[in-house]
């Protein structure tokens, strides 16, 4: 299947635009799989942070079918988790990845964030220590409707955050997105707080790949590519990363200028 894409470059950010989200997911998975295989030639273990959101569905579906990946030599993390949501709830981000990826491939170790820990500060430190012990090779991201990365909503998105993992209060657009994505029935059902890996910690990954399809993300993609790099639009910081690719589809690219007006990759 051809996954031919239009390609542009914004600062250091490589952008690939596909006809639909299925083609986007295929290309993203093939790209990440190729990088894993490349790294596994020289590294005993690979450390990967995964995003948990419907935007990742096509990517994860294809990734778990990729051949010649030594999953048993991969340590997997997820980038955020709700506070005070049962761990086996369908909306739990750890559960999301377990069902869509970790149950299907023999991952060496999966490190779950526990949003139900009795000592949240200690849980943040535990996870931060793991990220220090296993430095991130690859981060697989989404971008929120409010341009958040993980749960770093604009009011808590600090590009020089001294923390590695922290508890945050979710803003209204973020909570509404969970309803828009049909993860929760009502706004009131969405938890108010979550644990998240911070922006500097996410961007310590050697390689970053962001998968962002759909019309609901069009405004966020426009901000990401066209606004100044600023904490008001957290995803703009991706343009500073030395090895980053953004995969989008025609729908999420819907508010961009004429593609020919951008620098061609």
CATH class of 6-251: alpha beta
Predicted local confidence at residue 264, as pLDDT: 77
Helices (H), 80-187: 93-97, 120-133, 172-180
**Enclosing H/E stretch for 29:** helix 21-40
pLDDT at 1 over 80: no
Percent of the chain with pLDDT over 90: 92
DSSP character at residue 198: -
Q: Is 221 helix (H, G, I), strand (E, B) or coil?
A: helix
Predicted local confidence at residue 3, as pLDDT: 66
Interval 163-179 mean pLDDT: 97
Interval 180-202 mean pLDDT: 96
| CA atoms of 255 and 193, how far apart (whole Å) | 31
Predicted local confidence at residue 147, as pLDDT: 98
The Cα-based distances of 65 to 26, 110, 233 in angstroms read 11, 18, 34
Interval 178-189 mean pLDDT: 93
pLDDT at 2 over 60: no
Which pLDDT tens digit goes with each residue over 43-76? 999 999 999 999 999 999 999 999 999 999 999 9
pLDDT at 11 over 90: yes
CA 118 to chain centroid: 27
Under 8 Å between Cβ of 64 and 105: yes
Token digits of residue 206:
């050697």
Predicted local confidence at residue 235, as pLDDT: 99
Structure-derived torsion over alpha carbons of residues 15, 17, 18, 19, reported in degrees to the nearest 10:
170
Greater model confidence, 262 or 116: 116
pLDDT band with cut points at 50, 70 and 90 for residue 217: very high
Mean per-residue pLDDT of the chain: 96
Which pLDDT tens digit goes with each residue over 72-116? 999 999 999 999 998 788 899 999 999 999 999 999 999 999 999
pLDDT at 8 over 70: yes
Any residues with CB less than 8 A from the CB of 246 and at least 6 apart, and which?
13, 14, 15, 16, 210, 212, 224, 238
Predicted local confidence at residue 262, as pLDDT: 83
Q: Is 196 helix (H, G, I), strand (E, B) or coil?
A: strand
Interval 188-194 mean pLDDT: 96
pLDDT band with cut points at 50, 70 and 90 for residue 173: very high
pLDDT at 137 over 70: yes
Predicted local confidence at residue 89, as pLDDT: 87
How many other CB atoms are there within 10 angstroms of residue 3's CB atom?
17
Predicted local confidence at residue 265, as pLDDT: 63
Predicted local confidence at residue 210, as pLDDT: 99
- Extents of the domains making up the chain: 6-251
How many other CB atoms are there within 10 angstroms of residue 43's CB atom?
12
| CA atoms of 237 and 229, how far apart (whole Å) | 6
Under 8 Å between Cβ of 85 and 91: yes
Buried b (16+ CB within 10 A) or exposed e, 221-247: bbbbbeeeeebebbbbbbbebeebbbb
């Amino acid at each position: 299947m051809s996954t031919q894409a239009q390609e542009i470059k914004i600062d250091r950010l490589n952008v690939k635009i596909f006809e639909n989200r299925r083609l986007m997911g295929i290309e993203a998975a093939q790209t990440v799989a190729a990088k894993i295989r490349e790294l596994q030639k020289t590294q005993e273990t690979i450390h990967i942070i995964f995003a948990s959101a419907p935007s990742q569905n096509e990517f994860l579906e294809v990734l778990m079918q990729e051949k010649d990946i030594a999953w048993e030599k991969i340590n997997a993390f997820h980038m955020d988790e709700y506070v005070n949501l049962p761990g086996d709830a369908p909306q739990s981000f750890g559960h999301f990845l377990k069902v869509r990826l970790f149950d299907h491939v023999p991952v060496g170790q999966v490190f779950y964030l526990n949003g139900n820990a009795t000592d949240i500060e200690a849980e943040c430190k535990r996870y931060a220590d793991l990220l220090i012990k296993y430095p991130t090779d690859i981060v697989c991201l989404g971008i929120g409707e409010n341009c958040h990365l993980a749960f770093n909503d604009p009011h808590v998105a600090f590009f020089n955050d001294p923390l590695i993992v922290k508890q945050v209060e979710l803003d209204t657009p973020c909570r509404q997105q969970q309803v828009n994505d049909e993860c929760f029935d009502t706004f009131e059902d969405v938890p108010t707080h979550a644990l998240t890996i911070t922006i500097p910690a996410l961007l310590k990954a050697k390689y970053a790949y962001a998968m962002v399809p759909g019309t609901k993300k069009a405004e966020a993609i426009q901000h990401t590519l066209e606004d100044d790099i600023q904490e008001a639009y957290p995803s703009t910081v991706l343009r500073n990363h030395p090895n980053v690719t953004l995969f989008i589809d025609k729908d999420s690219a819907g508010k961009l200028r004429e593609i020919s007006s951008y620098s061609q990759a």
